[in-house]
Amino acid sequence: MTKTLDKTALNKFLSALAKDFFIMAPQYAGEDVRVAEITNISDIDWTGQMPKNPWKQVFLPAAERLFNFNKNNITESRKQYPQIACVGMNVLDLKALTLFDQVFSDDVYYQQRRNNLLIIGFTADWPIDYKKYKVFSHNYEEDILEHLSFDIFVAKLKNNQLKIYSGSPRGQQLLEKYGIKDYKNIEFAGAVPEKGPDKRMLTLIDKVSKSYNKKLWSDLDKLCLACGKCSIACPTCFCFDFSDQLDPEESNRRRHWGNCFYNDFSKVAGGAKELDTVKKKIFFWYTHKFVRIPKEYALPGCVSCGRCTRACPVGIDIAKNIRELNK
């Protein structure tokens, strides 16, 4: 028998959590669903629409102060990190988070922040694009959930009942604490499925690597404005810069998001730039997603959320470009 929960019980649980956590969740902001801080649990959007912005600012702030230089030593800028519950992250965004967890596994700032996050995933149905890509089968317990980082996962069934999963001891404890007993525990089986990395992803590595002379890139060279909006919208773009702030009292080092479309990204002392054309920049971006990330982590660098396509002011469609590269 499937153990289920109704929406009222879920909202009761989330309201209880809100006493200890800031709640970040998708909500309507004007015409779009966006990830934002929630003050009223009933504002959470449960339609399963892809939020326009990614979640990454919660895990890796657009700018953060890392440490301060005092006279003779270095002190950490931050002693405490906020308790945040990320509520309603869809499967694609959880895939991006799972990748971030690998990329920043030995990064003390990421880890400190991440340890105070509670991840509550949600699926209403598979996104339309997702089915079209046919990357995954529909058995989300074995093929999907086992390979995602989350604490609690909520699946909406056809009868509008909710099926609850726990994905960590912490998730279990919280469910128990607030009297939700009908859940199923999923044991994390590593980010990469047992049957090996996705085959489509593997064939793309070679295709993208060898594609620089394809017409696609010279077309994109003319079309792309190198505005960098795709990179900001992308849930897997994690490039960063360090910069210092000079202060006679307490200089400090900061980290902020980098953007490979911006001119200073590759500029070395003396002014030489490696990425000095739009073609080189956009090829670099695709190489990161479809060559470097798959090679390093055996995970896709693109979770097919479509945010970059939505963000692009000149209508560059990543799905179309990938079809072209796959030819």
**247, 1, 21: which is closest to 119 by C-alpha?**
21
**36 vs 298, which CB is nearer to other proteins?**
298
Q: Please say which residue, 81 or 136, places its beta carbon nearer to other proteins.
A: 81
**Shortest gap between Cβ of 21 and other proteins (angstroms)?**
19
CB of 27 to other proteins, least distance (A): 31
Closer CB to other proteins, residue 43 or residue 241? 241
Rounded Cα distance, 216 and 222, in Å: 10
**Closest distance between other proteins and the C-beta of residue 140, in Å?**
30
CB 217 within 8 A of CB 282: yes
Whole-angstrom Cα Rg for the chain: 21
- 10 Å CB burial of residue 88 (0-12, 13-18, 19+) is buried
Written as six digits, the tokens of 95 are 């895939």
Nearer to other proteins, 12 or 273 (CB): 273
**CA separation for the pair 45, 42 (Å, rounded):** 8
Nearer to other proteins, 166 or 236 (CB): 236
Which structure tokens are listed for 112? 């400190």
Residue linked to tokens 């700032």: 109
Residue 141 is classified by DSSP as I
Q: Give the residue from 97, 96, 85, 88 showing the smallest Cα distance to 27.
A: 88
Q: Minimal distance in Å, beta carbon 266 to other proteins?
A: 5
Q: Of 2 and 73, which has the nearer Cβ to other proteins?
A: 73
Q: Smallest gap, in angstroms, from Cβ of residue 110 to other proteins? A: 10
Q: Across-strand partners of 28?
A: 33
Q: Which residues make up the interface to other proteins (CB under 8 A)?
A: 66-67, 69, 72-74, 76, 103-104, 106-109, 111-112, 115, 209, 212-213, 238-247, 251-253, 258, 260, 265-270, 274, 280, 283-284, 287-288, 291-292, 295-296
Q: Give the Cα separation of 156 and 48 in Å (integer).
A: 10
Smallest separation (angstroms) from other proteins to the CB of 77:
12
301, 202 in Cβ contact below 8 A? no
